Amino acid sequence: MTEKSTIDLDSYIHRLETSLIGRNNGEKVYKLIEERQGKFEILETNYREIEIVIPKKIITINYSFFSGLFETIVKRLGDKGFREKYHFETTEHNLAKVDDHIQKILSASTPEEILNA
């Protein structure tokens, strides 16, 4: 197993983008990464660690974008598994956002549960 694979989001997003917004954009980046670097499942088995580099120009990463890109992976690996495998290289603010979003994905309720809360 090789040590580390790096996914630099800078090469997958538009150069004018200053915040990562939108589920569709997140899903698009997911597909592009799989096309260029291979399926996430394969990357996970081939590498001990996957480093996600979010460029410093990105002010914030919103929940929709994050879940468009990582929702399936977070749900598949769970909190601990995801944090062990994926490491984020970004600003402190974005790191805190990533933590929040992981929690949100894992604790999301169904519409029925929400409306009957």
Partner 1 sequence: MTLQKKAWRRIRSRRKRKLLHGGSMTQEQHKKYHLKSASYYIQRRSRANPAQLEKHTIIVPQSFSFIDNANETTQFLRKLKKLLCKNVPKNLSIDHSGVKKIDLAASFHFDKLITDYCHKWRLRGIHVQTNGRLPQNKEINNFLLSFGLLEKLHIKNDFPSQIADQSCLDMFVIFKENGSRLEEFKKSQATSGLVDFFNKSFNENNLQLTEDGASKLLETFGEIVDNAEAHCGPFNQNGKWHCLGCYSKNTRECSFAIINEGCTIYENLQASDNDSREAIRKIFKTISSKRDLFNLSICQFSEEPIFNIMALQQGISSRRTNQGNRRSTCGYGMMTVLDFINSVRSEKKEALVSVVSGKSQIYVDYRYPIVKKRAKRGNSEITLLYFNKKNELDEPPDSDCAILLDGKYPGLAFSGRFTIDESYLRRRLQGD
Q: Is 54 in the site for partner 1 (CB under 8 A)?
A: no
Pick the closer one to partner 1 by CB: 1 or 114: 114
Instruction: Describe the chain by its helix, strand, coil percentages, rounded to 5.
Output: 60, 20, 25
Q: Residue 39 and residue 41: Cα distance in Å, rounded?
A: 5
- Could you say which of 2, 3, 80, 110 contacts partner 1 (CB under 8 A)? 110
Pick the closer one to partner 1 by CB: 4 or 106: 106
Contacts with 2 (C-beta within 8 Å, 6 or more apart), sequence order: 46, 47, 48
Q: Is 59 in the site for partner 1 (CB under 8 A)?
A: yes
Pick the closer one to partner 1 by CB: 1 or 117: 117
Q: Residue 109 and residue 115: Cα distance in Å, rounded?
A: 10
Binding site for partner 1 (CB under 8 A): 14-25, 28, 59-60, 62-65, 67, 71-72, 75-76, 93, 97, 104-117
